[in-house]
Amino acid sequence: MPGHRRDVALFGIITRTEFAEILLKARKGLGSGSELGYVREPENAIRDAALLAWEYLSGKRVSEFTGRHYYEDTYIGLTMDKWKVSKIGDADVLQFYVRILKRGRRKKICPGCQAKNSTGNTFCNKCGASLKDAQLDGKLKEVWKWKNLGLSDPFTVYIMEWLNYLKAQNYEGRIFAISRVHAWRIMKNLGIMNHINRHWRATHDSATKNIFELQESLDRVTPPVEYVHGEPTKQLEKTKQAEVMWQ
């Protein structure tokens, strides 16, 4: 996709009201590529809206919900045994246990010069040796965390609708039994992309959270500045306040 992920013109800044309209479109099945929506499988519209709402509210990546295959390592993402409704203080919350993806990609170690190469390489970039029998440099770290979503947020209605549907079917597998590519296709038909939900959430939260709170909510090691698209008028207002303070 052209452009940089910090490009505000590419991602846009939307309000929660505008996001609610996208959610409603998904729930009606209009993101299926047909104005008639999911005629034969209407439950897929419930699934799509739930995925969209969950991604936005949690700030998590699509791979953390659907699961992803890393060569010989496989994990299955969010499953029906990894969520529950509970209380934190007086608040009703949806708690879910999810694997947090960490930065870094595995590399092939050249058996000749020990240089690190992309896993897609057939020959070493440095010495030209064959990488047919190359070893991979270690395993990705397993990091699982309990995350909490307040059920008072109206967007959680879409999530609970899908979870209750699956419970009624006595279903016990993956909550989103689709591939990451399939999930991206769903969002493309809605006119957005999966990862943009994470940016929207970070931008909205940045209005009230400091950088460290935002960093924790997104499970980031480094400050998540590249996820925040500040509103220009707000930036000007802050600059003006600083100028007055330091006169």
What does the pLDDT look like over 137-192, one tens digit per residue? 765 666 889 999 999 999 999 999 999 999 999 999 999 999 888 999 999 888 88
- How far apart CA 214 and CA 193 sit, in angstroms, is 21
* Separation of alpha carbons 14 and 202, rounded Å: 12
Question: Does the pLDDT at position 99 exceed 90?
Answer: no
Determine if the pTM surpasses 0.85.
Answer: no
Mean pLDDT for all residues in the chain: 84
Structure confidence at residue 5 (pLDDT): 46
- Domain extents in the chain: 8-89+152-245
Is the pLDDT at 3 greater than 50? The verdict is no
The 3-state DSSP composition of the chain as helix, strand, coil percent (nearest 5) reads: 40, 15, 45
Q: Which residue has the higher pLDDT, 106 or 174?
A: 174
**Strands, DSSP E only, in 48-176?**
68-70, 73-75, 83-88, 91-99, 107-109, 116-118, 135-136, 144-150
Distance CA 55, CA 225 (A): 19
The closest alpha carbon to 76, from 89, 63, 85, belongs to 63
Q: Let me know if domain 8-89+152-245 sits in CATH 3.30.420.
A: no
pLDDT for res 6: 46
The reported pLDDT for the residue numbered 242 is 84
pLDDT in tens, 9-26: 566 788 999 999 999 999
Mean pLDDT check: name the lowest of 57-66, 93-102, 223-232: 223-232
224 closest CA partner among 233, 232, 216: 216
pLDDT of 237 = 75
Residue 201 burial (C-beta neighbours within 10 Å; 0-12, 13-18, 19+) = buried
Residue 70 has pLDDT above 80, yes or no: no
